[in-house]
Amino acid sequence: MEVRARVVIQEKGLYTISYNGNENIAEVSGKFRYDAKEPSDFPSVGDYVVASWPEDGSHSIISGVFPRRSAFVRKVAGMTHEEQVVAANIDTVFICMSLNQDFNLRRLERYIAVAWDSGATPAIVLTKADLCRDVSEKKAEAESVAIGVDIIVTSSKKADIDSISQYIVSGKTYAFIGSSGVGKSTLINTLIGDSVIRTSEIREDDDKGRHTTTHRELISLKNGAFVIDTPGMREIGIMGRSEGIEAAFSDIEELISLCRFSNCTHTNEPGCEVLKAIEDGRLGADRWNSYRKLVTENLYNTNEAEYMKAKKEKFKEIAKVNKKRKAK
């Protein structure tokens, strides 16, 4: 029979899906694979799918994906112009960043932009507070770039999980996103109440994390909520994220709207509110440069992807014409 199941694990082309409290291994059908145009068309953890549910215990076959109400999507690492769905149908994205050398405001801005564009609500979790001497200062720095985003400070050694638990509501889905070794899996294990997920600490000599989580996994909690653990991301590319950038940099967008000229380049024009804000210290030059970098990157990657897609379709049409000619 066909059922509406949910993807709970995705790893190396195979999926684990859940239906009515039971799990089964699944793979996509040949037709699904043929019709998929982009990697993001394939099922991801958190997706609801149409799948067969064999009574003999054999693998399920996924034939379709229900429309996503939200999705945390990033550009695939490297030079390729493709997108990867990290987690689907999520309500809150917990952006995890540890309070040591992993702490990076520019990276945080990037994560916030992608999170706002996902359709879910972002929240920031600053981990390993016990390893930081100036927690209040670091939190204030994060607040300066996280406009409208809640910030939660945690210490894994003290297991002060109550500050996150108040966000976890039955029936909702939460994704934990961040670099490797920042404590995502430790937080989830604490929420679960058991060490279900293997963890590694950040190395003390260079503050770099060792990759522990190798696949994305959706886990149900005792209160009926769901959490998604994700592998650490070494980079998170921006593509087609203009709305997320606008939300993450709403302070800059407001300044731009107040410029005297609608086509202001914010370089030397009179009446430029951006330049005025930088001059009087209301806007940091680093934040302005970060905004421009993300806008440029987003524009380039989006235009390049559209160009490559159009080029691919063109060659498909040429191949069809040549095939017809050969047939004659």
Taking CA atoms, 104 is separated from 61, 130, 145, 325, in Å, by 42, 18, 11, 58
Task: Determine the pLDDT at residue 199.
Answer: 45
As a three-state string, the secondary structure of 122-168 is EEEEEECHHHCCCHHHHHHHHHHHCCCCEEEECCCCCCCCHHHHCCC
Question: What is the rounded CA–CA span in Å between residue 212 and residue 231?
Answer: 7
DSSP code, position 306: H
Question: What is the rounded CA–CA span in Å between residue 166 and residue 163?
Answer: 6
In single-letter form, the type of residue at position 101 comes to Q
Tell me the residue ranges of DSSP E strands in the chain.
2-11, 14-19, 22-28, 48-52, 60-65, 71-75, 83-88, 92-98, 121-127, 150-153, 173-178, 216-220, 226-229
Give the torsion sign (CA, 12, 26, 215, 172). positive
- Domains along the chain with CATH numbers: 2-65 (2.40.50.140), 71-229 (3.40.50.300), 242-322 (1.10.40.50)
Give the torsion sign (CA, 102, 105, 108, 114). negative
Q: Which residue has the tokens 């009926």?
A: 224
Task: Determine the pLDDT at residue 305.
Answer: 62
Phi and psi at 321, nearest 5°, equal -60, -45
Question: What is the rounded CA–CA span in Å between residue 318 and residue 311?
Answer: 11
Task: Determine the pLDDT at residue 205.
Answer: 44
The three-point CA angle 260-265-266 to 5° equals 70
Task: Determine the pLDDT at residue 197.
Answer: 47
User: Over the chain (328 residues), what is each successive 10-residue block's mean pLDDT?
Assistant: 95 91 95 91 96 93 96 77 88 93 91 94 92 92 95 73 85 92 84 58 46 73 92 76 92 96 93 96 96 90 64 53 54
Long-range interactions of 108-111: CB distance < 8 A, separation 24+: 108/142, 108/145, 108/146, 109/145, 109/248, 109/249, 109/287, 109/290, 109/291, 109/294, 110/236, 110/238, 110/294, 111/177, 111/178, 111/236
Q: Which of 60, 27, 45 is nearest to 226 (CA)?
A: 45
Q: Which of 120, 83, 126, 102 is nearest to 228 (CA)?
A: 120
Question: What is the rounded CA–CA span in Å between residue 60 and residue 41?
Answer: 18
Tell me the residue ranges of DSSP E strands in 53-149.
60-65, 71-75, 83-88, 92-98, 121-127
Q: How many residues does the chain have?
A: 328
Phi and psi at 11, nearest 5°, equal -155, 120
Task: Determine the pLDDT at residue 260.
Answer: 95
Question: What is the rounded CA–CA span in Å between residue 124 and residue 187?
Answer: 13
Phi and psi at 48, nearest 5°, equal -100, 130
